Every structure is written in C-alpha cells, then in structure tokens.
Structure 1
Amino acid sequence: MCGIAGIWGSGDIEKMVNTLSHRGPHGTGFYKNEEVRLGACSLKITDPEGENQPCYNEDKTICAILNGEIYNYIELKNELSNHIFKTQTDTEVIVHAYEEYGLDFIHKLNGCFAIAIWDGGRIILIRDRLGQKPLYYYFKNKNFFFASEIKSILTQMDSVSPNLTENFLTFETTIGSETFFKDVYALPSASLLIFNGEDVKTKKYWQVPPDIEIDFTPKQYIEKLQWLIQDSVRLRLRGGTSVGILLSGGIDSSLLAYIARPQYAFTCCYGENGSFNEVEYASMVAKDIGAQHFLVKPTSADFKEHFEKIIWHLDQPVATMSSLPAYLLAKKASEYVKIILNGEGSDEFFGGYIRYLLMVTEERLGALPELKNFHPLARFFWNKNMFSGSAERYFELIKRGEAGKGDPFQRVKEIFSQHKNLLNSMTACDIEVSLPSLLMMADRVCGAFGLENRSPFFDYRIVEFAFSLPQEMKIREFKTKYILREAARGIVPDKIIDRRDKIGLITPIYKWFSQDLSEWCNSITSTFDERNIPLNPGKDRGLYDRYKYMKLSLELWYRIFIDKQLNLDAAKKNKKEIIL
C-alpha cells in the first residue's frame, strides 16, 4: 500500500504526495526534471530498510513508482540475473523487467498494482487485471496529472465540477473510466496508458477469458483449485512479518485462514439478534488456527462519527453499505499488522451470490421438458418477465434506479453476448459493474491506516480457471460455490463447509436511519433534495435498500468536494491538513 502521483507540465508534486501520506507512512521520494515529476509515499514491506521510491535502472534512464505488490517478484528477479539490483523491492524488479522485455513485461506480473514508469520520453501507467489498486488521471491545458486517489489530483485543479452519469443513476456506481469529477478519469482495470506530452492513449492488455472448458474430471477440477488457492496464499504471505485476516466465519475467509494460519483475526459483528451476527463460526476458526481474535462492533454512533471521514477517504460514494465496518476493521487491524488477508472475489468467481442462484434456477426451470412449452402460463402465474433474455433479467436484478434501455442496459447486454455460460456472463458483468466499488472501498479503508490488503482469490490464475469451469461445478443442486466447498474438504471443518444459512455481513443502516440516526440523517438529506438530482429510489429492497444511504453519501460528498463546507479532521489525524 503506497500512494503514487505524477505531473507532466506545471504543478506541485509535493502537495499531491502529501495529500496521499496516509497511504504510505514510511517516507516519500521524488523524481524531477524540467517537465516531469513523479512522487511516492511508501508503506515498506518487501524491503523495510531500503530506499524510498522511485527506483531506477543502472544508468537512471528509467524510473518507476508502484502502489501495491508484485507477488512473484522473486521469480522475476531470478529471470533478470543480468541486471544489477540495489534493493530487495518489487518496484526495482519492474524497472529492470521493463528494460528487458518492454511493455510485454506486464503479462509476467502476478499482483495487485498501479505502476507509473518514466522512460525519458513518455509516462506509462499500468493497472492490475482486476483493478485492485486505483489510478486516476487528468489532462487539460497541456497539464497531465495522475495519482492513486482523486483528492491528490484535485489539489492541482482550479475548479471542480460534479459528473453524475447515467451509469451512476442506474447502478449507483461509476463504470469504466468514469468518476464523479468532470475531467478526472479512472484508468480502467487491466489497462495501460501512454502519455508522450501531447496525447493520452489507453488500451487493454488482458480480458475476461472466453468460455473454454478444460477437459477435466470433477476431481481434477477440485484438485487444481486447491493447488491454485494454496499457491496464491503462499505468494501473498511474502514480506509478511505480521499478518492478519478479515474473518467472517464463511467458507471463503475460513479456507484462507486454515491455509495461511495468520497470527491475528478480525471479525465484525453487531449487537443484533440473529441475522446480523455470525461470530460463532469465526471464533471457532480463530481458535483452531491459534489466532488472536478481535471483534469489531460498529454502532449507529460510530456511523455518525466516522462517515464523513469515510466519504473523504473514498473520494466518491460507493455502491455498498459496508464502508463503516470495513473502515473500523482496518483501523483495528492496523494496530497489530501491516498485511491483512481477505476472502473477496470468491462469490463472484465461484457462484456465491444469491442473485446467481436465482438466475441459474430460472434457467434450469425454463429448460425442463415439462415447462418448456408452457412459458406463457408460467409468466402469468409467477412473473411476466420470467424466461425472457438473461441480460434483461440480470439487469433488472442489479439496477437500482428506474433506468430504461439506454447505455447501461446495452452494456450489460453486450457483456452477456460474449458468453454462453450464464454464470460467466453474470461474473463478467459484475467485474465491470459492482466489483469496482467493493475494490475501491477495500483499498481506501486500508489506505486510510497504512494497511496492505491482499486478496488471494483475485490471483489472475484463479480468475482464468474459474471462467473455464462448467456451470455445475459452481452451483449444483441449489448449493452455491460447490467446487470451493469440495476444495475445502479436509482443510476446513464440515460444519462451516456445509453451512446453508450464510447471508453475508448486513450493516443495519436501514434500522439506524429509521431510529437512532433518523433526525441526523433527515437533516442532511433534506439539503440533498434541494439539489434536484434525479436519484430514483427504484423498488424497495427492505434491509438491502440503499436509497437513503446513497442520498446521505451524495450530500456529504457534495459538501466535502464540491461545496467544501466541511472541515474534516480525517487527514489531521495523520498530521496533515486536508487539501480540497
């Protein structure tokens, strides 16, 4: 976890890096010439005693800065034995790999990364395959800026304007290169950008794999996945003098915990009865692996105290209500470890979401010989849209606003057209639509406390393998994540593997907003109503409804970044002044 920034043109690189200081508490470093400036604040893990970034090649004609980790840097360094290394860092491996292989070096990387390279004639920006590490840029009036967080770029802009797109009004999140800020763009996942002082050019270097099934038996699929997960965990434990895990008690994090055996485990729970509390299973796992177990119990008072700071760290609202527990878990974990493992990605890649189960069940039901000629009767009895196109049905599931059949729907339809396997279609769609918000939240809450988050299920080898699986290896007989459960046999207790009641972490914001925080929330959202933003509530989703939460998030975002009304103390706790 580091913060990186750069300028081609006029600007203040120190100011940009200082704004990111919470991400890298172990020092700053800069490269400067007449036109180009690069800077980084570092969280040192692989080489704690080494020099600060940037790193250079032998004659200093190439320099690089890195946010994130290259997990296979040792293997790459062994390939580059003809080069002279001055440090033990993965950043220096990037420099020499680029020198040796050119841009093709990207395909050799296994990690979560945002990279910037200056080779004397151009700035090259590269973002990892799934977009785990953020990278943003701005190019206007001959000035080019990039940074790990948007707030860093804003320090160099004369004015800031909102950019609420049709995608946001549909999905409550931005898509692709969009951000909430006019003229500020996200470099999409699996993309590289080249700037030569005149033009910005971007291109994809990796795509979600096509549906090409491997000719394996079920046993071979399971054994392959076991090896991939174990190897992914092995790589992600590198440099880890103290490691923790975010432990929910579900199959994902439990499997990682039994493989990694971290010293510390951190679990979120609420003081609610029943559905909001799954501590029993997490405590069992922590005891089995001998980890010191910490419980974080967010309250409505915590939400009121911290949420403004969370919005500042996020840069823009996210399409999830889990930002408070994620923030408090990161805060607690940072007191004990530098590296935190998490089980994110498993639901997307192995058919874990209930919406996946609903879609697959409908598909299988519609294919039954007894029903395939009676779809009109079934629609009359159940739902008028049943057994219609899968893209249309999934769009109805994931949209939040009352969107029509415009660009957001067309994008979903295009993604579905690229896959024959329904589960792969939904996963590919989520990689573009919902996953970026979850990844951004994980990055920002950990970055707020200088904590490195690592996600073994996002290893690109696991992702590519998941797209090669037959659908029945993911969802079988109404059981989600079938292959992952079988891969965990003998490692994780059957009591956890065979759970069918796991619902995920639900933050009781719906309850808080109608009770403890009602007056506070209404006082803020009433101002939002005066902005005349067409945020449509859509259909009521009960405990999962985000409408009021999104109104509150947007209003605070407007005040912090657009109106600049709030004087938060989030950065002051890092001994830096917030610069907006």
Structure 2
Amino acid sequence: MFAGAVSDGETVFAFRDHIGYRSLVYRRDAAGFYAAAEAKQVVAGAGIPRQPDLEVVEHVFYRSADDDTPCALKGVLRLPKMTGITAGDAGTRLRRYWDPASLLETARFGPDELKDRFDALMDQAVSRSLTGRDAISLSGGIDSPAIAAYAAPRHLELAGRPLQAVSVVYPRYPSVDESRYVIPLAEQLGLPLQTYEQEANPLDDLATWTALADTPFPGATLAQYAEDYRRVRGLGMLGLLTGEHAEFVFAIRWFTLGHLLTHGRFGAARRELAQRRAQGMSLLGLARLAGRSVAPHRVMAARHAIGRRWPPTVPRWVNWHRAAQETPVPVRERWRRSQLAGFIGPGVALEAEEVCQVVCDIRTRRPWTDIDLWELFLSLPAEQKFPDLRPKGLVRDLLRGRVPDAILDRTDKTVFDEAGLARIDYPTLRRYLVGQEHRVAGIDYAALGELLRAETLTRIDYEWAKNLAGVHAFLSQW
C-alpha cells in the first residue's frame, strides 16, 4: 500500500498502489499541477472554492462511480489505482503500470506445487506486513485465522514477543458471537487475546468523519473502525493485520459454470453439474441453471422485466432502476470480470478508512491482497480455483494443518443482522433524513420517513438509509 510523488523540478511523477489503499488526488489548471493525499489539500493549494460535486455524491451513493469519477469536492480528480501520472509543461499523461487481466488463467500447477507456492507467498505477504509492534483482528471465519497462523511465528521471530490478538464479541447476541472459534485459536497459536464489546455506533460523529474524508463513504463505518484502531493503539501497537478483502482474491465464483461452458471446458462443467445433482438439484433445475449461465444480458433483462421482479438488495423507497443499473458484459467475459472485481471502481471507502487510520495513528495491513499472492490466484484456471461447491474450497484445502479443522470445516456463516438491527440509531437517521432541503434523485423521502418514524427498518433498509445519512451529513457542511 503506497502513494507518492517525485520531481526533478520540472516534471512530477505521482503514483498509487494496485488496490487504492492509499489515496492520491490531483488537479491541473492554468496555474499549475497540484497533487496530494486529500482533496481538501488540493482545494487549498489551488485556491479554489470548497464545494461539493452533487453529481459525484449521487454516484458515490448509488455505487455507480468508476475509476474516472472525480472526487466529491468539485474540481479535484482522483488518480486511478495501479496508475501513475506524469505532469509537466506538455500537460499530464496517465499510464497504468499493472494489468491483472493479463494474468487470468495463465498458470498450470500440480496440487503439491500449488501448495508449496501458496505457502511461500503467504509467508512472504505476512512478513511484509509486520513491524514488530502488531496486532491481528481475529474472527471465526477462515480469512483472519489464516493470517494469524502465518503471522504468529514470524512476529515472535521478529519482535521476540507474541503477536497481540483482538476480537469483538457479542455476548448478548449468541448467533453473532464467534468466541467459540476465536478463543481456542488464540490459545493454539500462543496469542494474547483481548476481547471487547463494541461501543461505537456506525452513525457516531458522521458529519465529522465525512468532512475529514472529503466524501460520503458507503459501506464504511469509521466510528467503529476508530474505536478498534484506538484500542489497538492503546496496547502500544502500530500495525493491525486483518483478513479483509480476501473474498476478492479467491472467493468470488460467480459465473463459473457459464465460463466453463462458453470456453469449451465441458468436462469441468459436467463435474460441477454432477456435484449440484448430488446435492439434490433436480434435472430441470440443472437445465435452468445451465441456460441462465450462457444467456445474454438482454435475455435475462427481458425476463426480469416481464416478471417485474424487485431486486432483493434494493429497498422499496429507492428507485430500483437507478440503484440496480448494470453494465452489460458479454457472456464469455462475465467470469473474468468477476475475478477483477477488487480492482474495479474508485475505492471511496478505502480512502476514507485511510483517513481514519491517520487520525488514530495506526496502519492496517491486509496480507491477502499482497500483489504476489493475488497474482497467484489470478493465474489459476477456474476449475482449479473453484474445485467444488464449497465456499473457499481451495483455500480450505491449502490451509489444512495450519488452521484448526473446527474453523476450516464450518458450514455456517455468521450474519450480523441481529446485532446491527438492535443498535439502529433512529434519532440520528431522522435528523439527517427527515426534512432535509437537498434531495437525492431516486429516493422516496416520504416513504423512508414513515419507516423511520415507525422504527421498522429491515436490514436492507438500514444499509441504504445509513449510506444516505452519510450523504446528507457530508452536505450539511454547506
């Protein structure tokens, strides 16, 4: 994770990392070239008014922003991830320095060779992330325990003391609490463990955080991140390792069957269908699945239009045509595009999280997204990356012997609905969303207001309302 700029006095070259963990924004006008880590810094340096770009704000809310979308402060551009920019008398020139698409399905590994390669790259990724004063945020899933298993011996070797572990617990919500996995894991790896109940609400200090981040940030809860970071910093740590974003590296198996069928890999497709049949899917269900897998976008769009199906991820008070906009992707490219999902879009939430880390004087490290490790998974053929229908099946096999079987063989998935819905801050939502002068296009504020007054939000309602509150908190500065 990096961003930087170098200059010889005449030309400036600026750049940022392949994921967008570190931000770099810029402006070029008649007076010169300005580059900084935060949009407010460019605004100040260029001497332009600090104003919101309402069109960008709506794109951010609807998650329709792309790599070319400017910042939420008007007049400031965002340098796309994995890109460098050269600025001089001749103008500016952008150049992407890494092309992950070119790596897809280019490798051929035997099982033992793949296991050895994974071990080496995982060890390297974790070692690169350690400072000697680190903690790890543990959950009961696969992603963070895998990091802990590789990091524990390396941290002890580097610092002469165990890696500190921290974990949020939910004693009042047994369906959410993962202590039964986390505590034995920490004991097995020799990690001192501090558990705590999270006190911060996702909406706490929302106006402050959106002002600091120079943008609303859908999906990020900076108040809770700040609580976590400050606890870790209070333990004397400088770095926090997490298992975040692992799903982008090895867990997105959307469109795999269609990819196999449209690329003539019928043996692998047949094996997947046989596995589904063994799980109880009917022959008619298999036929429908195969048909949907190779159907063009226009066919599926027409089917949904005829059925008038409301997207299950969009509340009734949001215009679903605006919220569920999709860019048509050719059938043969769908799987490939899904494997690149972690590189698509501006990463607004990541930029906001970076600001939060700076405020709390700590840095998070996400070893799963190490460039060399990610390149390994990009290079695997689809049938090797997803050998069966188990979620994260390949990685479960690769981690066998390092991560406890109790975690690797879990068949349940923790869903945080119970804890989240119990802590909805209705007064704050009403303050930001009822009676506001500005209106985001596509929102039925009257219908939303009724739900807020009755305090009857569903999980989907709450996620969208929370993000909409972030928009209005950001705009409340003007």
TM bucket normalised to smaller: 0.7 to 0.9
CA apart distance, 1:344:
2.1
**Match in the other structure for 2:106:** 213
**Match in the other structure for 2:468:** 551
What does residue range 529-540 of structure 1 map to in structure 2 within 5 Å? 530-536=437-443
**Match in the other structure for 1:458:** 369
Structure 1 residues 140, 454: CA separation in 2 closer, same or farther (over 3 Å shift)?
same
CA apart distance, 1:552:
0.8
Match status 1:132 vs 2:21:
yes
**Match for 1:308: what amino acid?**
A
What do residues 97-123 of structure 1 show as CA deviations (whole Å, max 9, x unaligned)? xxxxxxxxxxxxxxx110100112111
**Match in the other structure for 2:140:** 249
Match status 1:231 vs 2:147:
no
What do residues 350-399 of structure 1 show as CA deviations (whole Å, max 9, x unaligned)? 11x5xx46x547886999599999789949xxxx9776347997997988
Among 136, 149, 172, the residue aligned to 1:258: 149
CA apart distance, 1:225:
1.3
CA apart distance, 1:407:
12
Unmatched runs of 5 consecutive residues or more in structure 1: 1-111, 564-580
**Match in the other structure for 1:428:** 340
Structure 1 residues 178, 122: CA separation in 2 closer, same or farther (over 3 Å shift)?
same
Structure 1 stretch 185-194 or stretch 167-176: which is displaced more? 167-176
CA apart distance, 1:272:
4.1
What secondary structure sits across from 1:138 in the alignment? Answer: strand
Distance in 2 separating the partners of 1:558 and 1:267 = 34
**Match in the other structure for 2:73:** 181
What do residues 156-210 of structure 1 show as CA deviations (whole Å, max 9, x unaligned)? 4324132434743542655444322222111111100111145222121111233
Distance in 1 separating the partners of 2:299 and 2:232 = 41
CA contact (8 A) 1:527 1:555 kept: no
What does residue range 442-453 of structure 1 map to in structure 2 within 5 Å? 442-453=353-364
**Match in the other structure for 2:233:** 334
Distance in 1 separating the partners of 2:217 and 2:164 = 28
CA contact (8 A) 2:137 2:166 kept: yes
CA contact (8 A) 1:303 1:324 kept: yes
Distance in 1 separating the partners of 2:287 and 2:398 = 41
CA contact (8 A) 2:219 2:467 kept: no
Match status 1:122 vs 2:11:
yes
CA contact (8 A) 1:163 1:179 kept: no
Structure 1 residues 361, 445: CA separation in 2 closer, same or farther (over 3 Å shift)?
farther
Distance in 2 separating the partners of 1:541 and 1:386 = 34
CA contact (8 A) 2:202 2:224 kept: no
What secondary structure sits across from 2:391 in the alignment? Answer: coil
CA apart distance, 1:228:
0.8
**Match in the other structure for 1:164:** 55
Structure 1 residues 483, 366: CA separation in 2 closer, same or farther (over 3 Å shift)?
closer
Distance in 2 separating the partners of 1:475 and 1:348 = 13
What do residues 311-367 of structure 1 show as CA deviations (whole Å, max 9, x unaligned)? 23332222315434322211211222111111123111111x5xx46x547886999
Residues paired across the two proteins, number = 429
Distance in 2 separating the partners of 1:506 and 1:118 = 50
Structure 1 stretch 361-370 or stretch 177-186: which is displaced more? 361-370
CA apart distance, 1:248:
1.6
Structure 1 residues 172, 275: CA separation in 2 closer, same or farther (over 3 Å shift)?
farther
Distance in 1 separating the partners of 2:415 and 2:181 = 13
CA contact (8 A) 2:61 2:468 kept: no
**Match in the other structure for 2:393:** 482
**Match in the other structure for 1:323:** 222
**Match for 2:343: what amino acid?**
I
Question: 1 or 2, which has the higher helix percentage?
Answer: 2
CA contact (8 A) 2:218 2:470 kept: no
Distance in 2 separating the partners of 1:117 and 1:429 = 30
**Match for 1:425: what amino acid?**
R
**Match in the other structure for 1:23:** none
**Match for 2:33: what amino acid?**
F
Report the identity percentage: 18
**Match in the other structure for 1:278:** 178
Unmatched runs of 5 consecutive residues or more in structure 2: 156-162, 260-268, 305-310, 448-455
Structure 1 residues 407, 284: CA separation in 2 closer, same or farther (over 3 Å shift)?
closer
Structure 1 residues 427, 470: CA separation in 2 closer, same or farther (over 3 Å shift)?
same
What secondary structure sits across from 1:209 in the alignment? Answer: helix
What secondary structure sits across from 1:192 in the alignment? Answer: strand
Structure 1 residues 289, 314: CA separation in 2 closer, same or farther (over 3 Å shift)?
farther
**Match for 2:231: what amino acid?**
K
**Match for 1:291: what amino acid?**
L
Structure 1 residues 366, 531: CA separation in 2 closer, same or farther (over 3 Å shift)?
farther
Distance in 2 separating the partners of 1:244 and 1:392 = 50
**Higher relative contact order, chain-length normalized (CA < 8 Å, sep 6+):** 2
CA contact (8 A) 1:366 1:387 kept: no
Structure 1 residues 440, 474: CA separation in 2 closer, same or farther (over 3 Å shift)?
farther
Among 191, 194, 205, the residue aligned to 2:86: 194
CA apart distance, 1:405:
9.4
Distance in 2 separating the partners of 1:321 and 1:441 = 8
What secondary structure sits across from 1:171 in the alignment? Answer: coil
CA apart distance, 1:492:
1.0
Among 329, 339, 353, the residue aligned to 1:413: 329
Structure 1 residues 272, 314: CA separation in 2 closer, same or farther (over 3 Å shift)?
farther
**Match in the other structure for 2:31:** 142
**Match for 2:142: what amino acid?**
I
CA apart distance, 1:215:
2.1
Distance in 2 separating the partners of 1:399 and 1:208 = 31
Among 486, 502, 520, the residue aligned to 2:428: 520
RMSD: 3.9
Distance in 2 separating the partners of 1:391 and 1:321 = 33
Distance in 1 separating the partners of 2:351 and 2:111 = 35
**Match in the other structure for 2:266:** none
Distance in 1 separating the partners of 2:396 and 2:227 = 29
Distance in 1 separating the partners of 2:343 and 2:300 = 18
**Match for 1:551: what amino acid?**
L
Match status 1:501 vs 2:412:
yes
Structure 1 residues 252, 159: CA separation in 2 closer, same or farther (over 3 Å shift)?
closer
Match status 1:154 vs 2:43:
yes
What secondary structure sits across from 2:411 in the alignment? Answer: coil
**Match for 1:522: what amino acid?**
R
| Structure 1 length-normalised TM | 0.65
Distance in 2 separating the partners of 1:405 and 1:556 = 22
What secondary structure sits across from 1:153 in the alignment? Answer: helix
